[in-house]
Amino acid sequence: MTEQQRFELKCINTIRTLSMDAVQAANSGHPGTAMAMAPVVYTVWNRFMRFDPEDPIWANRDRFVLSIGHASMLLYSILHLTGVKAVDSKYERLGELSVKLDDIKRFRQLDSKCAGHPEYRWTSGVETTTGPLGQGVATSVGMAIGGAWMASTFNRPGFEMFNYNIYALCGDGCMMEGVSGEAASLAGHLRLSNLCWIYDNNRITIEGHTNWAFSEDVATRFIGYGWNVLRVGDANDLEMLERALKTFRNTKDRPTLVIVDSHIAYGAPNKQDTSAAHGEPLGEQEIRLTKRNYGWPEDAKFLVPEGVYEHFRQNIGERGKSLRTAWEAQFAEYRKQYPALADSIERMQRREMPDGWEKELPSFPADPKGLAGRDSSSKVLNAAAKNLPWLIGGSADLTPSCKTRLAFDGAGDFTPENHGGRNLHFGIREHAMGSILNGLSLTKIRPFGSGFLIFSDYSRSTFRLSAIMEIPVITIFTHDSIGVGEDGPTHQPIEHLASLRAIPGLIVLRPGDANEVAEAWRVILKLRHEPAVLVLSRQAMPTLDRSKYAPASGLARGAYVLGDAPGGRPDVILIGTGSEVSFCVQAYEKLKAEGVAARVVSMPSWELFEHQSPEYRESVLPSGVTARVSVEQASTFGWERYIGTSGAAIGMRTFGASAPLQELQKKFGFTLEHVLAAARQQLARKA
């Protein structure tokens, strides 16, 4: 072994010992994979990554995704040793280290930057929140699509502004999760040559050896997906790792999977219970034995030997700074020649909107026949997208039904041959679509995806992650109720609105007519840190006469008074969302004609309403008015928050049925007569 090789091994063992010491200090965590994969992470970062630790949000940086998030100390160790700087939410570099040694010493403790699993926005240098297995690699496909789109859209002759790669480290658990298969299939189809997954083939999961549950030929599977598949027989062989990664960089027609054979690593030869150590601290005695095997001081904790920091600084530090500095100089020239494109790039990085993006948003005239929510949304989406060049998206094979195609000249389709199209085709892969949307958003593209509301079940975990990461992903769901009709209960969403509303930080909007749809898009596209779900009807909704009722701009406050009682003193309040707002309006008019002091409230978004001041919420739903009726073709779960324990909730308490819409509405009580009866019962109770 040469002196250089010995020093590189010292750097690798620094990663290993920091990982085992942190897990032991926390008495919680997963040391095994971090120890085994330290040579791989060292090689990727120190020899290949185009990444400047001084500027971890440089737009053309390579991305590293730790899909095996339980091995988080791998990432924290490398962020510390490379000196990655912290960045605040305003994109102003703070100058201090993203991960200090004290953070590592406080691994998994309150307020440490070293949380149990890597968290985007909490720790600079973490490109995406990971933990749920499979999500990291699936998200990396979105990053790769984003990188390919950015290159196709912004690169010009002599100006290769975007050419970054994505490296994702994954394990057996990621390979078993279905979302990774969905995402890998699409990545292969799209020939995303900027994507490299590194598979830690250690044959161990929490329960024990993978032979119990996993025996497929992963290499053959990925060859079938259209990937380039390489194999490294020993995770400690840095030269073989380097050759494999060079082959990835030279492959221009497909993504690459590097299968790395490893063992849950200790160094101490007497460690037998690999499954336990994979998911538990090693224990002080085992750590001493392991350090002895490394030639490490046995009693030293959190040791970074002399020269290790400098080694990383001289490699990734100097390389990254040189690449970023050259890129910034090139961008200055690019701005001179292509000012509009440069402006778009800069606004994207700050999540700012272009000037005039709202200028073509339509308004809709009053119409008793109205439009389906999906139809009015299509008009608004296309109007917005024409003036928001980085708004791109598609559906899980349901674009004709969801009406989400960008149909104006130049929009185009994102295909293996054309990575500049703005219409994405996810195929029937709802789960991967959600992860890919997260990855696209993390590249600062503004993505949208669409499908039927019933299929939100497949994507729920990705909504949760976008909310945790505070990224403004847009999801459009149509076929929002039992209005699906003859398709029956398997396609009629009942509990789905309630389950989406339960996710903290997710904005759910169910607009009640075409102008509320337009206002919903206006709100959504201004969001910078919240994901949003837009829930739309398949059936037509009357377009309300806004000269008679309150303007649809009230949607921005979540709920607003649509029509009121004389003097603003109602005796009964009718609350509706979506297509049911029209039932409430009809009942309101009938009650008003009878001399009843009624108020009708449109409540398209619980979350936006809860963001308002107590005074505003009281003005819409006065606490003194307890006679209340809510109407929504979905589960009644949660409506007691707004109607109280004595109010009437007209909604679904069972699954639906297969029948024409009007028959279903009659069966389940979504009729004018039923709403009136409920309102009168509320008034009688009050009397």
The residues assigned a catalytic role are 430
Quote the tokens at residue 63. Answer: 């991305």
Dihedral over alpha carbons 402, 403, 409, 412 (to 10 degrees): 20
Whether residue 623 contacts residue 637, with contact meaning beta carbons closer than 8 Å, is answered with no
How many angstroms separate the CA atoms of 612 and 603, rounded?
13
Sheet holding 560-563, edge to edge: 560-563, 598-602, 572-576, 628-635, 648-652
The total number of residues written for the chain in this structure: 687
What are the beta bridge partners of residue 198? 169, 258
Whether residue 287 contacts residue 24, with contact meaning beta carbons closer than 8 Å, is answered with yes
Quote the tokens at residue 297. Answer: 């001081």
How many angstroms separate the CA atoms of 578 and 561, rounded?
15
Cα 30 from chain centre? 25
Whether residue 375 contacts residue 530, with contact meaning beta carbons closer than 8 Å, is answered with no
How many angstroms separate the CA atoms of 167 and 188, rounded?
15
φ/ψ (deg, to 5) at 449: -135, 160
DSSP, collapsed to helix, strand or coil, labels residue 82 as: coil
Of 76, 156, 56, 57, the residue nearest 116 (C-alpha): 76
φ/ψ (deg, to 5) at 475: -125, 130
Of 571, 569, 568, 591, the residue nearest 686 (C-alpha): 571
How many angstroms separate the CA atoms of 373 and 157, rounded?
43
Do strands 93-97 and 85-87 pair parallel, antiparallel, or not at all (unpaired)?
antiparallel
State the DSSP code for 56.
Answer: T
What are the beta bridge partners of residue 64? 167
CA-CA distances (angstroms) from residue 455 to 438, 450, 496, 497? 17, 10, 9, 12
